[in-house]
Amino acid sequence: MASIEMRNIVKQYGDGYPAVNDVSLDIADGEFMILVGPSGCGKSTLLRMIVGLEDITSGDMVIGGKRVNDLAPRERNLSMVFQNYALYPHMTVFENIAFPLRLSKTPDDEVRRRVNEASDVLELKEHLERKPANLSGGQRQRVAMGRAIVRQAEAFLFDEPLSNLDAKLRGQMRTEISRLQRRLGITTVYVTHDQTEAMTLGDRVCVLRKGKIQQVASPRELYEQPVNLFVAGFIGSPPMNFLPATLEGTTLQTPFGAIALDEQRAAAVRGRELLLVGIRPEYFEDASLVDEVKRPVGSVFRARVDVTEWLGDSQYAYIPYEAPEAITAQLRDLSRELDSEELRTQAIVSIDSTSRIREGRDAEFWLDSRKIHVFDPQTGENLTRDAEAGARLTQMATEDRVEQVEHAQATGQTVGSSMLSGPSGSSGTSGTSGPSGAHRSGAA
Ligand SMILES: Nc1ncnc2c1ncn2[C@@H]1O[C@H](COP(=O)(O)OP(=O)(O)OP(=O)(O)O)[C@@H](O)[C@H]1O
Ligand SMILES: [Mg+2]
């Protein structure tokens, strides 16, 4: 296991296009880092540079304290699991997992010991003699991970490993990978453009846009304190609503009425002709269902609902609004870039499932004005971001991770404490413990 440090990493392909543009990112030993962003933003390119499958144009890639720019993939001892993890159909699960060890001519009893330990962690013990064709998709995924585990790699790298599974299995595998990563305590970098995966799996999430880092933070910080319009629109589903607004005194005038700001926030947004107010769907409520204590911290407005969708545990109402052409055009551009259809001049608000608000009728809504953000429409900058509050959220996530890894180690669940250190006393963190010649990728 090792930390991964990137210093000003640039990747220019042959045609000069900077697919990755000055990325600096530190991934701690044992951390689960997510790389997320729209198609073409450079996620796979960055991952492939970590592994060594792609040359680095400039910058330093440091793994476990050692600069690896000029090391071949097999000398880096990382384990990559691709979207299409190819298992050998004629081999048993046991032999599929043992494959890299066979390549490196590891003695039989050592192979047996390591495969058994890995299959224990992966709950594959009962399936070791079966063939991959007879396994479920999730079990196959675990076999591919088993192959990565027995190699005693310094880190796991995943490139959209779940993207070709159906939604239900994807959900199961997500939990599986998360649990495993904690138990193994292995540094993990995981590429996805699925924002649910990004929010649920990572200790921290790195949001990329056109080869540049936008924000690196815990999922909660990204959600509650996004740095800009891009991150705010990308993280969260349904996405944040963006309303045009102007400031009068300390009050924002929006299509959904006046929203009061405190003096500090008003000062931060003052001096701009037009603003964009970001309000997440769940900051709204059916005004008739908001209790008297809560009511004064928000504002109430009337609007006509276009469509309602009842989902059982909640309900969405769609409210169209008018916006100046400049704003409409900008929201359209943003939607296109985010691969989303939903950022239109229509707010999606989440209301209680018992609400009797129905389409075609005027209704009263309440919105929690404490939680809104105000953006500069020109630069996209979040003008009301509270950096300290954000840092606290990420600090909390870091503490949680340390505690979880310690807990996993204390209960003897990690492979790190038993298997990776091995009976021969070789240290799993030394950077030289991998079986030589066994560094084929997980998709081998
Ligand atoms: N071999 C290559 N030669 C030239 N340009 C490339 C090459 N591979 C990728 N690119 C370009 O680099 C950019 C980043 O590509 P990359 O594959 O890293 O994106 P990605 O974020 O993984 O996207 P996706 O979500 O679609 O997989 C894209 O604009 C792509 O066109
Ligand atoms: Mg990719």
CA distance 3 to 350: 41
Closest ligand relative to 45 C-alpha: 1
Q: Residue 409: which CATH number? A: 3.40.50.300
Task: Report the residue among 45, 157, 338 best suited for mutation to probe ligand 1: largest number of ligand atoms under 8 A from its CB.
Answer: 45
157 located within any domain: yes
Q: Are residues 46 and 168 in the same domain?
A: yes
Closest ligand relative to 19 C-alpha: 1
Q: Are residues 309 and 340 in the same domain?
A: yes
310 located within any domain: yes
In 3D space, the residue among 199, 67, 87, 102 whose CA is nearest the CA of residue 442 turns out to be 87
438 located within any domain: no
CB 75 within 8 A of CB 406: no
Q: Are residues 238 and 324 in the same domain?
A: yes
148 located within any domain: yes
Of all helices (H) and strands (E), which one includes residue 263? helix 263-269
Q: Are residues 247 and 149 in the same domain?
A: no
Q: Are residues 126 and 274 in the same domain?
A: no
Ligand 1 center to 189 CA (angstroms): 18
Task: Report the residue among 21, 39, 41 best suited for mutation to probe ligand 1: largest number of ligand atoms under 8 A from its CB.
Answer: 41
Q: Are residues 251 and 348 in the same domain?
A: yes
For the record, the structure tokens of 144 come out as 């591919």
pTM of the entire structure?
0.86
Q: Are residues 27 and 122 in the same domain?
A: yes
Ligand 1 center to 320 CA (angstroms): 36
Q: What pLDDT does 430 receive?
A: 33
> Measured from the CA of 45, which atom of ligand 1 is nearest?
18
Asked if residue 424 has pLDDT above 90, the reply is no
CB 50 within 8 A of CB 409: no
CB 209 within 8 A of CB 41: yes
Q: Residue 356: which CATH number? A: 2.40.50.140
Range of the domain at 90: 4-221+396-418
> Which residues surround ligand 1 with Cβ inside 6 Å?
13, 15, 17, 19, 37, 39-45, 193
428 located within any domain: no
In 3D space, the residue among 10, 19, 20, 27 whose CA is nearest the CA of residue 62 turns out to be 27
* pLDDT tens per residue across span 211-247: 999 999 999 999 999 999 999 999 988 889 999 999 9
159 located within any domain: yes
CB 212 within 8 A of CB 41: no
Q: What pLDDT does 181 receive?
A: 86
Q: Are residues 279 and 298 in the same domain?
A: yes
Ligand 2 center to 190 CA (angstroms): 11
Asked if residue 421 has pLDDT above 70, the reply is no
What is the percentage of the chain residues whose pLDDT exceeds 70? 90
**Overall number of domains in the chain:** 2
Q: Are residues 63 and 194 in the same domain?
A: yes
> Measured from the CA of 15, which atom of ligand 1 is nearest?
4
Q: Are residues 42 and 170 in the same domain?
A: yes
Q: Are residues 343 and 414 in the same domain?
A: no
Q: Are residues 246 and 289 in the same domain?
A: yes
